[in-house]
Structure 1
């Protein structure tokens, strides 16, 4: 991620299935990383169990799709800092994560600022 997040004009990123080494468990988006990223699609990253988004990462992000990342049981706290995020789609995730993003769930405060929130079926 350290190399990718320094690409100044990267606007779209798709992280799919085995995009990282097999033993990668933590995904980190650093402060100042991905300055121009507008669309992030994370799909099938089953090995990832923790995702960190630091304040100041992805300041231009407006669309985020997270699908079938069953190792994640919570959303990153840093999603609350993504003030330009307009569309968030979450589908095919664990039942635990789905319950945490409901309006009365522990993670809802991280995404309540997003105008368009699409939550599909849990898996």
Structure 2
């Protein structure tokens, strides 16, 4: 990720599967990283238990899609800082995560600023 987040013209990034980043269970988007990224797609990252978005990361991100990341039980607090985020899609995640992002859930405040929220059904596996 360290090399990718420094690419100045990267506008679309798709992270699929668990082969990326070795054995770490945390996927970190660092402050100042991904300066031009507009669309991030994260899928099938089963071993990841945490996404971390530092303040100042991905300042141009306007579309985020997360699916099949069954290890995630909470959304990153840093999503609050993605002020250009216009569309967030969450599909086939754990039931606990889905419970937390409901309008009265503990994590809803992190995403309430996003104009378009597409929340699919939780995964049948968990």
Q: What TM-score range do you get, normalising by the shorter chain?
A: over 0.9
Equivalent in the alignment of 2:88: 88
| 1:19 Cα deviation from its structure 2 partner | 3.9
> Residue 104 of structure 1: SS of its match in structure 2?
coil
- TM-score, length-scaled by structure 2: 0.95
Equivalent in the alignment of 1:111: 111
> Residue 40 of structure 2: SS of its match in structure 1?
strand
Q: Is the 8 A contact 1:62 1:84 kept in 2?
A: yes
Equivalent in the alignment of 2:100: 100
Matches of 2:83 and 2:23, distance apart in 1? 32
Equivalent in the alignment of 2:35: 35
> Residue 23 of structure 1: SS of its match in structure 2?
coil
- TM-score, length-scaled by structure 1: 0.98
> Residue 33 of structure 1: SS of its match in structure 2?
coil
| 1:62 Cα deviation from its structure 2 partner | 0.2
- Where structure 1 has 5 or more consecutive residues not aligned to the other structure, the ranges are none
Q: Is the 8 A contact 1:22 1:47 kept in 2?
A: no
- Where structure 2 has 5 or more consecutive residues not aligned to the other structure, the ranges are none
| 1:66 Cα deviation from its structure 2 partner | 0.2
More off after superposition, 19-28 vs 73-82: 19-28
Q: Report 1:1-123 matches (<5 A).
A: 1-123=1-123
Matches of 1:34 and 1:69, distance apart in 2? 21
CA root-mean-square deviation: 0.8
Q: Is the 8 A contact 1:25 1:48 kept in 2?
A: yes
> Residue 106 of structure 1: SS of its match in structure 2?
coil
